[in-house]
Amino acid sequence: MTTPPLTCVVLAAGQGTRMRSLRPKPLHRLCGRAMLLHILDRLAELVPAQVVVVVGHGAEWVTKELVDDGCGGLRVDFVDQLVPRGTGDALMVGLTALADDDLDDPSVEGAEVLVVPGDAPLLRASTLQRLVETHRRTGAAATLLSARVPDARGYGRVVRGRDERVVRIVEEIEASPDERLIDEVATSVYCFRRSLLAPALRRLSPENRKGEYYLTDVIAVLSGAGYPVTSLVVDDPLEVAGVNDRAQLAVAEAELRRRTNLGWMAMGVTLVDPERTYIDASVGLAPDVTLFPGTLLQGATVVAEGAEIGPDSHLVDCLVGAGARVAHTVAVDAEIGPGAEVGPFAHLPSGTVVPAGQAAGPFYTPARRWAHRRGEASE
């Protein structure tokens, strides 16, 4: 059988007022990369037929920065939600960018739409794949990703019927006292049968305390019409945590850095003290590189095999050759040749080149110290 086409819609139109920043929330950086790009990176692993990002606040800024940074290697269509009228309206706006003109066409019956929020950078591709597979296996009209948490304050609760099928999601502001005791919460991640999604969205009403079109209400619409709705409970609630303020941004940063460090160690890189080692998502490291405590690698920095960096070194957009040693150094856009020694207490400004086998730093004699700018040699 042919696998149904998968379309992904990312809802990233929110203003993010709790961030207290002029910068749009989707562009706040985690491990040196815009938060929204981390989500697009994960979606790329699913190889979707199409990705649509719904933007709103700072739309031009978001679109330009994501396009300039490559959108995670995906071809992305952007749609602007001109008036913020809720997540249900945002998804309807997103559907206007889908390839098929008629969203109710029976020919797309088997197609699916994966909906992901733009502020959940800890989502794993494996979890999203499991959600899609669960949706396909059960033949549900909608499958939502849920989590069980000890403190459900602020989340929409998942309400189940007698047969344990999901019947609706109730926003906390609308929930009864009994419903607020439910510990299973919605994560704003869904997989929908595409042919049913647009008609269900058209039945939403803004008659609620916020006067918005809630995407969560689609679940009640589909369930009430007799369609099956299922859920997949995520193993780790931290994975679906949203980023709404600076404190949550710091939590996401710490978790992504932990994953990044574990990934590099699995690939043969030695991190003497992982908790004091910071590696941006854009950095490249070869096997047998050793990073000592206090190392911070940012931007397009690339370190070749056998090099040793640190302790207490900060490299931005640098190239480090095989077997080089760099200690107590700050360098920006510098080239350090194979076998070179830099530091301690060295500063390499933009354009500096340390040739292979040479040394740079305040404690080397002139006979050994040889650093120059690109195209301009000097002792």
Domain 6-240 homologous superfamily, CATH? Spore Coat Polysaccharide Biosynthesis Protein SpsA; Chain A (3.90.550.10)
Does the pLDDT of residue 108 top 80, yes or no? Answer: no
User: Cα separation of 115 and 51, whole Å?
Assistant: 10
pLDDT at 210: 84
Nearest-10 crossing angle of helices 194-202, 217-224: 110
**Across all residues in the chain, what is the average pLDDT?**
91
Query: Does 229 score more than 90 pLDDT?
Result: yes
Rounded-to-integer distance, Cα 33 and Cα 282, Å:
8
Tell me how far apart the terminal alpha carbons of the chain are, to the nearest angstrom: 68
For 347, the 3-state DSSP assignment is: strand
Is residue 370 very low, low, confident or very high in pLDDT (cuts 50, 70, 90)? low
Specify the CATH class of 267-373 in words. mainly beta
Comparison of pLDDT for 210 and 259, the residue scoring more: 259
With 60 as the cut, is the pLDDT of residue 101 above it?
Answer: no
* CA 218 distance to own-chain centroid: 25
Q: List CB contacts of 173: < 8 A, sequence separation 6 or more.
A: 208, 209, 210
Ramachandran area for residue 272 (φ above 0: left; ψ -120 to 50: alpha; else beta)? alpha
Cβ contact 171:216 at 8 Å? yes
pLDDT at residue 31 in the model: 95
Nearest CA to 317 out of 349, 275, 290 is that of 349
Task: Check pLDDT > 70 for residue 103.
Answer: no
Q: Which of 17, 20, 98 is nearest to 54 (CA)?
A: 98
pLDDT for position 9: 97
More confident residue, 358 or 365: 358
Q: Tokens 């990369």 label which residue?
A: 33
Residue 211: its pLDDT value, please?
87
For the chain, domain boundaries:
6-240, 267-373
pLDDT value for 23: 92
pLDDT in tens, 34-78: 999 999 999 999 999 999 999 998 999 999 988 888 876 788 999
Which of 377, 320, 323 is closest to 346 using CA atoms? Answer: 320
Q: Is this prediction's pTM over 0.85? A: yes
Query: For the segment 280-307, what is each residue's pLDDT rounded down to a tens digit?
Result: 999 999 999 999 999 999 999 999 999 9
**Which band of pLDDT confidence, cut at 50, 70 and 90, is reported for residue 367?**
very low
